[in-house]
Amino acid sequence: MRLSDCVGADETSCKVNGKKNWIWTYQTNCLTIIVNAVIRSYQTVVDNLEQGFSQSILVYDYLSAQFKTPAKSQQICIAHSLRELKFFIQKRNSNWIYKFPKIL
């Protein structure tokens, strides 16, 4: 996986024995790594993927731990960007905001 051109990353919460945990996923077209962690922090990356993805473009949401993950290059997921933009549109009223989704 570390040599893949592109790796997608995401995390979501889940319950394990009644306690909140985090499921982290890293996926390519051929492989998926799934990690369960009790915390949602960069320490999970260090514990499981310390070397990162030196040959890969890492695509992820806005989680700060992903920003720190070593990679050849990084890209914010467009679907997550559009979701964030919808929230921003609801909070602000400006002409450029309504045009920006078309750019993405």
Among 81, 80, 58, 79, which Cα is nearest to 69's?
58
87 lies in some domain: yes
pLDDT at 29 (0 to 100): 93
Q: Which residue has the higher pLDDT, 45 or 3?
A: 45
Structural domain count of the chain: 1
pLDDT at 10 (0 to 100): 94
81 lies in some domain: yes
- Per-residue pLDDT tens digits for 6-60: 999 999 999 999 999 999 999 999 999 999 999 999 999 999 988 899 999 999 9
Domain that holds residue 20: 6-103
76 lies in some domain: yes
pTM over 0.85: no
- Per-residue pLDDT tens digits for 48-92: 988 899 999 999 998 899 999 999 999 999 888 888 888 888 887
1 lies in some domain: no
pLDDT at 99 (0 to 100): 77
Q: Helices (DSSP H) in 6-94: which residue ranges? A: 42-49, 64-68, 78-91
Q: Which two tokens stand for residue 34?
A: 């799934």
39 lies in some domain: yes
